[in-house]
């Protein structure tokens, strides 16, 4: 069984940045990249809001740059997926899907969160070509255009309101006959002149040539008033929630009801000595690459301080 001083589980901005800091601190970090090496940004087209890229950069290329920087400082990159953990006592045990098992003095959890989708094949087909799960990330590309947001909670209303400041028109597609959002967010959406709320609507599919051009909708599905029709849109934003990839850690660390790992104050500490959480797995609020990168740096700094006490 291999023993590791600093184990980083998950890649993306949080994991790779933690690897950079841990490598420069001579912690000999080992990083397991998981199911999506580079994280969610590898599915994004152009990134314009990450410092250091004044002309913008493709998401995949940016993550490759950060990955290479981590390797430069000696991070050992591996491709297996963590499937089981035992954090009951140090050194901690982690099992991977390639039948390997390691122990570690410190662990940085950077497994991210996965956006929830409707389950349509069209969502995959138009991913990066009109379909997005992050209005803050991609809304800039839809200035003066028409977009749709799916969802009825606070996140959906916030994203619709944000997009209304950029787009020409915003549809908010709501499955139920009411909004689940807080009263103030409901008011902002319902009173906004650029936002049209489509209650009791479901999305049946998407269409377009090279890029998304519209959506197939059904109103009052399963009722005598059922109606099918299309709307013309340039962007389709999912806002029905994210699932943090924290299942294998939940027996040992505290999480909220959704599964986001709870950390202590402004730190990445999880409450388990030597175990830290960084990035979207512990961030239900911002979910931005620059924020994840910063939290990865904090986690590595905390890991170095912890190891110095052993």
Residue 44: pLDDT over 70: no
State the pLDDT at residue 42.
Answer: 74
CA distances from 36 to 11, 78, 113, 221 (A): 8, 12, 11, 35
**Tokens found for residue 226:** 């059922």
Share of the chain above pLDDT 70, in %: 99
More confident residue, 47 or 269: 269
Three-state SS at 146: strand
Residue 266: pLDDT over 90: yes
Q: Which of 126-135, 195-204, 258-267, 301-310 has the lowest mean pLDDT?
A: 126-135
**Phi–psi pair at 117, nearest 5 degrees:** -120, 165
State the pLDDT at residue 58.
Answer: 87
Confidence grade of residue 286 (pLDDT, cut at 50, 70, 90): confident
Greatest C-alpha distance within the chain? 69
Q: Which of 29-38, 65-74, 155-164, 189-198 has the lowest mean pLDDT?
A: 29-38
Residue 138: pLDDT over 70: yes
Strands (E), 55-192: 57-58, 76-78, 82-86, 92-96, 101-109, 113-115, 131-132, 146-150, 169-173
Residue 47: pLDDT over 90: no
Residue 150: pLDDT over 90: yes
CB 16 within 8 A of CB 67: yes
Share of the chain above pLDDT 90, in %: 85
Section 42-59 average pLDDT: 84
Q: What is the CA radius of gyration of the chain?
A: 21
CB 187 within 8 A of CB 165: no
Distance of alpha carbon 94 from alpha carbon 73, whole angstroms: 24
Q: What is the DSSP string of 9-53?
A: E--HHHHHHHHHHHHHTT---EEE--SSTT-GGGG-SEE-SSTT-
Buried b (16+ CB within 10 A) or exposed e, 121-134: ebbeebeeebbbbb
Nearest to 78 by CA among 87, 67, 66: 67
Peptide bond preceding 91: is omega within 30 degrees of 0, i.e. cis? yes
Instruction: Name the burial class of residue 246, with classes exposed (0-12), middle (13-18) and buried (19+) by CB atoms within 10 angstroms of its CB.
Output: buried
State the pLDDT at residue 128.
Answer: 85
CA distances from 146 to 150, 169, 199, 206, 233 (A): 14, 5, 18, 14, 5
Residue 32: pLDDT over 70: yes
Section 173-189 average pLDDT: 94
Section 49-72 average pLDDT: 93
**Tokens found for residue 91:** 């050194």
CB 59 within 8 A of CB 43: yes
State the pLDDT at residue 1.
Answer: 87
| Ramachandran category for residue 164: left, alpha or beta (phi over 0 → left; psi -120 to 50 → alpha) | alpha
| DSSP 8-state class, residue 177 | S
State the pLDDT at residue 41.
Answer: 76
| DSSP 8-state class, residue 1 | -
More confident residue, 49 or 224: 224
State the pLDDT at residue 227.
Answer: 97
pLDDT in tens, 91-104: 999 999 999 999 99
State the pLDDT at residue 40.
Answer: 75
- 134 included as an active-site residue: yes
End-to-end CA distance of the chain: 21
Query: Which of 137, 157, 234, 283 is flagged as catalytic?
Result: 137
Residue 244: pLDDT over 90: yes
State the pLDDT at residue 249.
Answer: 98
Beta pairing, strands 57-58 & 76-78 = unpaired
State the pLDDT at residue 43.
Answer: 64
Query: Which of 138, 234, 280, 283 is flagged as catalytic?
Result: 138
Confidence grade of residue 55 (pLDDT, cut at 50, 70, 90): very high
The helix-helix angle for 12-24 and 289-307 (nearest 10°) equals 40
Section 108-116 average pLDDT: 93
Query: Which of 134, 157, 234, 280 is flagged as catalytic?
Result: 134
Distance of alpha carbon 57 from alpha carbon 129, whole angstroms: 16
Residue 121: pLDDT over 90: yes
- 138 included as an active-site residue: yes
């Amino acid at each position: 069984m291999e023993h590791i001083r600093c184990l980083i589980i998950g890649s993306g901005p949080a994991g790779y940045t933690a690897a950079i800091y841990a490598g420069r601190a001579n912690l000999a970090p080992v990083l397991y990249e998981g199911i999506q090496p580079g994280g969610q940004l590898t599915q994004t087209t152009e990134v314009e809001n990450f410092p250091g890229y004044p002309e913008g950069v493709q998401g995949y290329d940016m993550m490759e740059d950060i990955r290479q920087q981590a390797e430069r400082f000696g991070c050992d990159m591996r491709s297996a997926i963590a499937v089981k953990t035992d954090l009951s006592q140090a050194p901690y045990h982690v099992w991977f899907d390639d039948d390997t098992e390691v122990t570690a003095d410190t662990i940085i959890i950077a497994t991210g969160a996965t956006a929830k989708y409707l389950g349509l094949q069209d969502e995959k087909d138009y991913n990066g070509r009109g379909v997005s799960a992050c209005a803050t990330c991609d809304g800039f590309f839809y200035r003066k255009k028409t977009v749709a947001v799916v969802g009825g909670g606070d996140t959906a209303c916030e994203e619709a309101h944000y997009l209304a400041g950029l787009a020409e028109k915003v549809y908010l597609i709501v499955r139920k006959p009411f909004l689940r959002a807080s009263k103030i967010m409901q008011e902002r959406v319902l009173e906004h002149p650029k936002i049209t709320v489509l209650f009791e609507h479901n999305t049946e599919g998407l269409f377009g040539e090279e890029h998304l051009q519209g959506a197939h909708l059904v109103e009052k599905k399963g009722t005598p008033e059922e109606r099918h029709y299309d709307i013309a849109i340039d962007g389709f934003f999912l806002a029905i929630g994210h699932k943090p990839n924290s299942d294998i850690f939940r027996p040992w660390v505290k999480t909220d009801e959704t599964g986001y790992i709870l950390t202590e104050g402004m730190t990445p500490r999880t409450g388990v000595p030597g175990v830290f959480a960084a990035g979207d797995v512990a961030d239900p609020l911002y979910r931005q690459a620059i924020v994840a990168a910063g939290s990865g740096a904090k986690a590595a700094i905390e890991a170095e301080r912890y190891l110095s006490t052993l």
